[in-house]
Amino acid sequence: MSADNGYTFALRALRRWRDEQLTLTPREAGGWRARFHFDGSTCGNVAFVLHYDIEVDGGGTIVGMRAAAAPGDEGHQSLCRHREDAASLREELATAGPLRGRPLADVLTWRPATSPAGCVCTAPARAHKWLAALQTLHFALHAPAAVGPRPPDAAAAAASSPTPTRATPSSDAGIVTPPSSALPSAL
């Protein structure tokens, strides 16, 4: 963690995750709907994809959190925890949003026990993925221009388009980045 920015992850990783793994969509009621696309692997090296969905209201409070296997993904079924108790893993991912109801800014001081394992079989591994998703969202909404490139027309795109923009590993597209004037101070 860098003491001057509060992030657990390197800025280079946050920049890449913002550009390749995060989709932002403005909410009609204000704030943002985000999807963090996580590519993981089981201990047997079976690839799987999870989606971490986060909603932040106009005041900067996290009002929704949910994780689930991406549509069509079958790799998650090879997770040890899924084989042991699929229903409880699905329930845990769907309901255990660790910072729900708190300001997004709290992700900079949240320090759960984490494990960088590629799976989500243990609580520390799940916390690590949530931390990555939440810090990437915070970074996307608050990174100063000097920290990482933003699309030059981001403010216009954010103000005029309710359509999500997504950067993918095979795409040059950037995310919709909110204009700094649209950000609540509580984020």
Quick: pLDDT tens for 131-187. Answer: 999 999 999 999 855 444 444 334 434 444 444 444 333 333 334 444 444 444 333
65 domain-assigned: yes
The yes-or-no verdict on residue 60 having pLDDT over 80 is yes
What's the pLDDT score for residue 12? 94
Q: Could you give phi then psi for residue 143, rounded to 5 degrees?
A: -60, 125
Cα 181 from Cα 187, distance rounded (Å): 12
Query: pTM for this one?
Result: 0.77
Which range of residues forms the domain containing residue 140? 11-159
Q: How confident is the model at residue 119 (pLDDT cuts 50, 70, 90)?
A: confident
Q: How confident is the model at residue 42 (pLDDT cuts 50, 70, 90)?
A: confident
What's the pLDDT score for residue 5? 80
What's the pLDDT score for residue 7? 94
132 domain-assigned: yes
Q: How confident is the model at residue 4 (pLDDT cuts 50, 70, 90)?
A: low
What's the pLDDT score for residue 120? 87
186 domain-assigned: no
Beginning with the edge strand found earlier in the chain, give each strand of the sheet holding 22-26 in spatial order: 62-69, 47-56, 32-41, 22-26, 165-166
- Kindly report which listed range (3-7, 20-24, 80-84, 122-126) carries the lowest average pLDDT score: 3-7
Task: Please check whether residue 179 is in contact with residue 158, taking contact to mean a CB–CB distance below 8 angstroms.
Answer: yes
CA 82 to chain centre: 22
The yes-or-no verdict on residue 93 having pLDDT over 60 is yes
87 domain-assigned: yes
187 domain-assigned: no
Count how many domains the chain has.
1
What's the pLDDT score for residue 18? 96
For range 70-79, the mean pLDDT:
88
**Which has the higher per-residue pLDDT, 145 or 11?**
11
What's the pLDDT score for residue 44? 85
What's the pLDDT score for residue 51? 95
What's the pLDDT score for residue 67? 92
115 domain-assigned: yes
Look up residue 142 and give its amino acid: H
185 domain-assigned: no
114 domain-assigned: yes
Phi-psi bin for 27: left (phi > 0), alpha (psi -120 to 50), beta? beta
